[in-house]
Amino acid sequence: MNPLPLHGLRVLVSGAGVAGPSLAFWLARYGATTTVVENAPALRTSGFAVDFRGPTHLGVLAAMGVLDELRSLQTHGGASSCVDEHGREIFGLPAEFAGGDVEVRRRDLSRVLHDRSADRAEYLFGNAVAALTQTADGVYVELARGATRTVDLVIGADGLHSGVRRLAFGDESRYARHLGYHLAGWDLPAAAVGGPRLPTTPQQYNVPGRMASVSRDDRDPDRAGAFLVFASPRLEYDPTDIDHQKELVAGAFTGGRWLVPQLLDTLPAAPELYFDSISRVSVPQWSTGRVALLGDAAGGVTLGGMGVGAAVVGSYVLAGELAVAQGDHRTAFAAYERRLRAYTGRWQRGAAPGEFLAPSTAARLWLRNALLRTRVVQRLLVAGTKSIATELDLPAYPVPADGHGLAA
């Protein structure tokens, strides 16, 4: 006899970012058989620091047993400085503002979550869901590389541009709203931007509608990370054409001052680029039949600040509700959405990261700088994000002890 509540349930998860591996971890804990399909050839390594704030986020990480490991990987680089073109500080922001309570590189987070679930779930990299057909008993899934699977449930944890959402819910244009900005991030040799003189705390330079920032890696002094944001209408590009994306970034920052020319010089050699529009995703209902959405695919804002926190909390709740409902997806999907929709909606509604990071006019830039120079505004911002992150009573699901029946 196998007492685990999801024993025998077959789940296919699309996306091995943050939500996908977290869900795979919890589903395995409850006994489900999980396959994670990721379209990148390996875990993605680009992107920068992401953070968790408040007891709700940290509570889930602790329950997963990853909190200590993540603390050991903290960036310690959260405090940031806004500088003028000569590198003189205009204002500084405290570490908790940008870095929350635990700040780690996105790639470290994704790797830790993957490693905790890799021996309990099947991971298929370089593959994607190409077609989905729901029947009364399951979902017939065709994979892009030719194989097929029949599973009980499919979860779209494949980010803002979710492929599962497109297949099961309809075109992205119905759910994603462009917020007038794009962003780009890549790794570069620190020597290109001052080497050891470059601080490990982010230095940010603005002109209206443009923000460039750079910081040295605190664990690898030879590496640095660039992160750029620019105002623009929605750009058309092939997500797999990295050279074209680099051209778009270079075009947007041509003629820039401060360290911008040196940053752009490193762009052609960058092996990976995180390039995206800043968009808000809002899906009126997170499930349809046996297919549900999780993390940014369900609702998120690029750089919205709570993406990873909402992804791990959402995974915990979705798996917990499935376990409580003994795998009955109708009951579980409804309960998952009821518990989480207001929580994710609150931080999502007000988030305008593009306008905050790169105010679009000289007057708005001046006003932002004037406000952020004051301690009281800084304190209000830190308190506000923490209280939104905590506004959820985390249900205590009956989680089986680790290792219990997992190999069965």
Ligand X SMILES: Cc1cc2nc3c(=O)[nH]c(=O)nc-3n(C[C@H](O)[C@H](O)[C@H](O)COP(=O)(O)OP(=O)(O)OC[C@H]3O[C@@H](n4cnc5c(N)ncnc54)[C@H](O)[C@@H]3O)c2cc1C
Q: Is 327 exposed, middle or buried (CB count within 10 Å of its CB: 0-12, 13-18, 19+)?
A: buried
- Residue closer to ligand X (CB basis): 5 or 348: 348
**Beta carbon of residue 137, minimum distance to ligand X (angstroms, whole number):** 24
Q: Is 192 exposed, middle or buried (CB count within 10 Å of its CB: 0-12, 13-18, 19+)?
A: middle
**Buried residues in 139-174 as b, exposed as e (16+ CB within 10 A):** bebebeeeeebebbbbbbbbbbbbbbbbbbbeeeee
- Residue closer to ligand X (CB basis): 283 or 297: 297
**Distances in whole angstroms, Cα of residue 291 to Cα of each of 123, 124, 285, 329:** 19, 19, 11, 9
Q: How far apart are CA 57 and CA 61, in angstroms?
A: 7
Nearest to 327 by CA among 8, 114, 19: 8
Which of 163, 180, 327, 359 forms a contact with ligand X (CB under 6 A)?
163
Q: Is 202 in the site for ligand X (CB under 6 A)?
A: no
Pair 70, 349: CB distance under 8 Å: no
Q: How far apart are CA 339 and CA 318, in angstroms?
A: 10
Which of 102, 139, 303, 313 forms a contact with ligand X (CB under 6 A)?
303
- Residue closer to ligand X (CB basis): 131 or 363: 131
Which of 44, 223, 341, 346 forms a contact with ligand X (CB under 6 A)?
44
Write the interaction track for ligand X spanning residues 97-126; mark x where CB under 6 A is met and - where it is not.
Answer: ---------x--------------------
Q: Which residues face 10 on adjacent strands?
A: 33
**Beta carbon of residue 57, minimum distance to ligand X (angstroms, whole number):** 12
Which of 6, 13, 17, 291 forms a contact with ligand X (CB under 6 A)?
17
Q: Which stretch binds ligand X (CB under 6 A): 17-25, 53-61, 228-236, 362-370?
A: 17-25
Q: Is 31 in the site for ligand X (CB under 6 A)?
A: no
Question: 């050699």: which residue's tokens?
Answer: 269
Structure tokens at 187: 């790794």
Give the count of residues interacting with ligand X (CB under 6 A): 33
Q: Is 311 in the site for ligand X (CB under 6 A)?
A: yes
Q: How far apart are CA 203 and CA 197, in angstroms?
A: 12
Question: 């690029």: which residue's tokens?
Answer: 302
Q: Is 20 in the site for ligand X (CB under 6 A)?
A: yes
**Beta carbon of residue 159, minimum distance to ligand X (angstroms, whole number):** 3
Q: Is 38 in the site for ligand X (CB under 6 A)?
A: yes
Which of 54, 100, 256, 295 forms a contact with ligand X (CB under 6 A)?
295
Q: Is 329 in the site for ligand X (CB under 6 A)?
A: no
Q: Is 19 in the site for ligand X (CB under 6 A)?
A: yes
Which of 101, 152, 187, 296 forms a contact with ligand X (CB under 6 A)?
296
Q: How far apart are CA 337 and CA 353, in angstroms?
A: 25
Q: How far apart are CA 326 and CA 329, in angstroms?
A: 9
Which of 11, 58, 153, 157 forms a contact with ligand X (CB under 6 A)?
157
Which of 96, 103, 158, 355 forms a contact with ligand X (CB under 6 A)?
158
Which of 26, 30, 48, 97 forms a contact with ligand X (CB under 6 A)?
48
Q: Is 50 in the site for ligand X (CB under 6 A)?
A: yes
Q: Is 307 in the site for ligand X (CB under 6 A)?
A: yes
**What sign results for the dihedral spanned by CA atoms 246, 251, 252, 257?**
positive
Note the helical H segments in 159-259.
163-169, 242-253
Q: Which stretch binds ligand X (CB under 6 A): 54-62, 255-263, 280-288, 306-314?
A: 306-314
| Residue closest to ligand X, measured at CB | 17
| Interacting residue ranges for ligand X, rule: CB under 6 A | 14-20, 37-40, 44, 46-48, 50, 106, 128, 157-159, 161, 163, 185, 274, 295-297, 300, 303, 307-308, 311
